[in-house]
A and B are shown apart, each in its own frame.
Chain A
């Protein structure tokens, strides 16, 4: 049973560029959340996708956008990259939308460095 997979694992970009990160959820999960983890901090919620729509959003600017595909996989896009966007981006999947309780299952993350 494949867990949450993310790609790429590492990438380097320069300021002003755009980046796309990809995530495949754990088998049987249809809800995908994205988190940003800066160095020395806990993961911070970016947004969550369910049924191909953004269901919830954290306190992140519009430069951060996403998409969910019919097979439940998801992309995170960040435009006009800033140095402060350097972080580990974590994708997490969870049980079918609306289920009570339940934990998040995380991928290994995509390490983004902005120079």
Chain B
């Protein structure tokens, strides 16, 4: 049973436009969420996080939105750049002890020039 779902395996966006990556979760005890980006032959790198006490967090071109009632979060990238082409993972954690993160299966984003 997947607790963190990313239902779009892939997404293609034109350079300069907005990229929206979605993530759904089933465990209502999750209280901290992160997005990671992964290039081939590299480990995942942290992008942005959001605590369950917030509904939005911004960092430059990246914004994460959290809708707790819908158990849904999304990552917006504006404007999208070709260097953003990578696999994006949504991850969630229950509680603040142990830092055991549950990852989604990932969405492959392709930004076309």
Interface positions of A (Cβ within 8 A of B): 4, 31, 33, 35, 40-45, 48, 55-56, 58, 90, 92, 94, 98, 100-109
A103 lies within 8 A of B103 (CB): no
**A31 nearest in chain B by CB position:** B99
Given A45-B102, A92-B43, A101-B51, 12 more A-B residue pairs with CB atoms under 8 Å apart are A31-B99, A42-B4, A42-B91, A42-B104, A42-B106, A90-B43, A94-B99, A98-B97, A101-B96, A103-B46, A104-B99, A106-B43
A41 to B4, CA, bound (A): 12
Interface positions of B (Cβ within 8 A of A): 4, 6, 32, 34, 36, 41-46, 49, 51, 89, 91, 96-106
A102 to B99, CA, bound (A): 9
| Cβ distance B43 to chain A, nearest Cβ, rounded Å | 3
